[in-house]
A and B are shown apart, each in its own frame.
Chain A
Amino acid sequence: MAEDVRQPDITAILTAHAEGTMVRVSFRSMLAAVRLATEAGLDVEMLVVLDKPDEATREMLAEVDTHGARLLEVSYGDQAPVRNHAVRESHGRFIAFLDGDDLWTENWLVEAHALCAAEPQTIAHPYADWVFGEHRSLSFPPDQNDPQFDPATLRVTNAWDALCLAPRDAYLDHPFQARALAQGYAFEDWLWNLDTVRAGYVHRVVRDTIHFKRSRSGSQFRQATGNKSTTRPTPYHDYAWLKEWDGALKREPGPPPAPRSVHRGQTWA
């Protein structure tokens, strides 16, 4: 990037593949959030990334450039490399992902940026995940600073999805790992959460914000769940590492210890 070009505060990234008309809804939601962020003085870059799109989806996004968004087309068939690609193409200090059928509340970018800009190594999540469509439910992601939250339990249950706002470096240093459903590995967002917590990032919740997540059959999450997938093994799944971490936390709260070699000469990814 040329030195005289100001680095955007945020890159808002919309990823899509076969959402059809629904992607236009998500794009409108992104535009509303970007408009509010711009009014608040933030410089926002918009990136739309199509991964092996069907024709209907491609058509719906054909004119996004007229709204100031940049359109990319890739061919991975997997959210993880798509997001990694998008991050490499982005220029913002912070990255905010939106899936091609979901929505933000219009204040998401402003409020999440305010939190992350004020507190280094913070990853922002919405106050509520509002699932609509085929299944309708609500969930309230935990705040890592909640004294009741025990990060060790992240090895058993995922706490956050990937539709967060985080420093670009968090994505560059900890790229999403590709799924491998045949081997039984999925949940790249869960793995990313484990990696970032291990690296000392703090996952926080932004009050008065909601992500509206469309529930559809055939989603990648549904496929992974039905396939009895797990995350790839990480230090979190190793009692020995967890014990070291327990000890480190008691001595001095902060980031957990570095990955260690484990038995049989194996080193965790």
Chain B
Amino acid sequence: MTNLPVEGEGAGQLSDEEEETVDPAPAESPLPFPFVGLPAETKDESVPDHLFDADFYLAQLPDPAAAAGAPRKHFAQHGRAAGYAPSRGAVYIGDAIRDRARVSETPMQDIIGLLPPEKAHLAKTDVVWKRLRICTHPRLYSAQFSAQELEELGGEFDVDRAVSHYLARGANEGKRLCALFNPDWYLEQQDRAWTEIAKKRAPFLRWAPFLRWLAVRWKKRNVTTPLFLHWLAVGWSIRIVPTPLFHQGFYEERNPWTKSHAWSFLHYLKKGCYQAGRLASPNGRHHPGGADPHARELQAPLLLREMLYRADDYDLSRTSWAEEGARAARARYDTLGSARMTELVAKAAEIEPLVLHPHVDYPVAGAPPYRGRRLFLDRRAEDMRTAVGRVHVDTVVLVPGGPADAVAPMLERLLAHAGTDSLLVVATDTGGTAEESRVPEEAYLDLLPFLNGMEQDFRLDLLLDLVRGLTAERIVVVGSELGWELLVTYGRQLSAQASLGAYVPSPDGYQEQTGPGSAIRDVEQCFAHLDWALVDTEAVAKELTNRYALPTAQAERLIPLGEHAVERAFDLPRRRQHG
């Protein structure tokens, strides 16, 4: 049971009609299932008033006049059996009603009952249900079920199934459907919002805190509405942002055009949360920076990566690592507003007035789960170290991952020469399995689970951490794009600690070519740090030697693949000694 305010006509709220302005034509269509009448399971339940829309019903009939006098009676006697829908809202929640009917004899009433009583009339419209769908994040919803439960439910939820399951069961079980709805935050913001409304509607109360408090409480009633549905029906209309992960002023400052939208938070909900470059709050980025082209289609906000981090440590139905971090950062930020801090800043400003210029970057707090751009990276680095299990290998081979065809000749030679005990093949670009790469399981590491979602700089940092952590004596790039970037960026430092080598394949693996493939661009940038480079043929080696007019000592570092090629490469003296 929760104390909740019922909606009033306070300043700043949106009417249900205005909602159409807010969301005039949702990109998403109504729930994509063919609703032809109410589910059979509901045949004994009369359609509740709040789910019957006479106008909508009559508009479907070939002869509306026949039912005009008593549309409900007509529906009960004829329309229901004929497969007509009682309202647009019923169309939207048909699947949920069907699902609920498996466990209840009053599925329609149950679902309508999820709405605040004062807003139950919205059930027949699509207003709340459209909002619900926009806010559905199936990956978060799925994460609140055990693997066994998910299997019994038919696997990970998609948007449609998540909506239906939530309305039929999840709402009653306290599950969270929306990553951008934090129930506790909503309650806190709601108190603030209603206090403000009370002040505006009764200015005299401004000077009487107790009376104002009383006025706010007066508007509260005990209802059992799930908080999320309360927000969809009430809080949304008065523009309460229900998550610590979004700050409206901050977002509008950085995305000024969103001010022309009725509500910038809606822009973030529908678009911004799927876009890597869109900062949402001054308390952190809340996602590791990488883009996901499928995020919007799957309704998987980028911040889910951090929200689901250490999921076992948090009750995901209420909060997450990311949300607690944002709260903590905000609390630290708020501390700066104390009287003592304000006084100290003012004194500093007497010496240097520039310190009072407003901050434009978001505040960063340094200890997890407090927010910082690199905190998620730090945690990932530790997870990776733990997952690797090994503390040293002699040779790290960086491959793209996936089928090994392009890099097979080189990989086979390396494995044959170095063995698998002291060698680790690391897939950096496309993931894949040891079997695909034709590498023994114990000598293979797929880095993708740690790199996914990371911006490129962070990916590089993680790979650098790995090769340094393993104190490898040799680092060999065999087709890995990230590996080449590692050598280009950190070749100077790595070459002081390890021998760096690479395989420079011919175009498309065509080994009769006399020229090098596209990797030559990377070779050019890091050849100074390479102890050797294996090429497909003698002709390629000669071509490169001529192209760069390499001195003999450097030309000898270009080794054509052939018998003992790897042995020759490994035996070459180091260009730089470690130290």
A binding-site residues for B, Cβ under 8 Å: 25, 28-29, 32, 103-107, 127-128, 130-133, 135-143, 146, 148-150, 152-153, 155-157, 159, 183-185, 208-210, 212, 214, 228, 230, 233, 237-240, 242-243, 262-264, 266
Q: Which of B340, B391, B471 contacts A243 (CB 8 A)?
A: B391
Given A105-B345, A105-B347; A138-B465 close (CB under 8 Å): no
Question: Are B385 and A239 in contact, with the CB atoms below 8 A?
Answer: yes
A140's partner among B363, B392, B473 (CB-CB below 8 A) is B363
Interface string of B377-400 (1 = CB under 8 A from A): 111011001001011100000000
Q: Is the CB of A139 within 8 A of B348?
A: no
Residues of B within 8 A of A159 (CB): 366
Listed A/B pairs (14) with beta-carbon separation below 8 Å: A28-B351, A29-B351, A103-B352, A105-B347, A132-B352, A137-B360, A138-B333, A140-B332, A140-B333, A148-B369, A153-B379, A157-B372, A157-B378, A239-B388
Contacts of A238 in B (CB 8 A): 391, 468-469, 471
Residue of B nearest to A149 (CB): B367
Does B36 belong to the interface (CB within 8 Å)? no
Cβ-closest chain B residue relative to A22 = B352
| A25, A131, A208, A263: the one within 8 Å of B340 (CB) | A208
Check if B496 sits within 8 Å of A230, measured CB to CB.
Answer: no
A-B contact count, CB below 8 Å?
165
Please name all residues of chain A whose beta carbon is closer than 8 Å to the beta carbon of B363 when the two chains form the complex: 137-140
The answer for the CA separation of A237 and B370 in the assembled complex, in Å, is 24
The 0/1 profile, CB within 8 Å of A marked 1, for residues 354-368 of chain B is 110111111111111
Return chain B residues, CB-CB under 8 Å to A208.
338, 340-341, 344
- Contact of A137 with B335 in the complex, beta carbons under 8 Å: no
Q: Mark B318-344, 1 if CB is under 8 A from A, else 0.
A: 000000000001001101101011001
Tell me the B residues contacting A by CB distance below 8 Å. Answer: 329, 332-333, 335-336, 338, 340-341, 344-345, 347-348, 351-352, 354-355, 357-370, 372, 374-375, 377-379, 381-382, 385, 388, 390-392, 461, 464-465, 468-471, 473, 489-490, 492-493, 496-497, 578-579
Interface centre among A139, A149, A239 (most CB of B within 10 A): A239
Contacts of A135 in B (CB 8 A): 360-361
A240–B336 CB distance below 8 A: no
- Distance in angstroms from A107 CB to nearest chain B CB is 6
**A153 x B381 contact (CB < 8 A):** yes
20 extra interface residue pairs, beta carbon distance < 8 Å, beyond A139-B366, A157-B378:
A25-B351, A29-B348, A29-B351, A32-B351, A103-B351, A103-B352, A136-B358, A136-B359, A138-B364, A139-B364, A140-B366, A148-B367, A152-B385, A157-B372, A210-B336, A210-B344, A237-B469, A239-B390, A242-B469, A264-B578
User: Which of A128, A131, A149 touches B336 (beta carbons < 8 Å)?
Assistant: A128
Give Cα A235–Cα B434 distance, bound, in whole angstroms: 30
Q: State whether A137 touches B362 (Cβ < 8 A).
A: yes
Decide if A137 touches B359 in the complex (CB within 8 Å).
Answer: yes
Tell whether, in the assembled complex, residue A138 and residue B359 are in contact, meaning their CB atoms are under 8 Å apart: yes
Taking a contact as CB atoms closer than 8 A, the residue among B365, B388, B464, B490 that contacts A139 in the complex is: B365
Chain A residue, CB-CB nearest to B369: A148
Assess whether A239 is in contact with B344, with CB atoms less than 8 Å apart. Answer: no
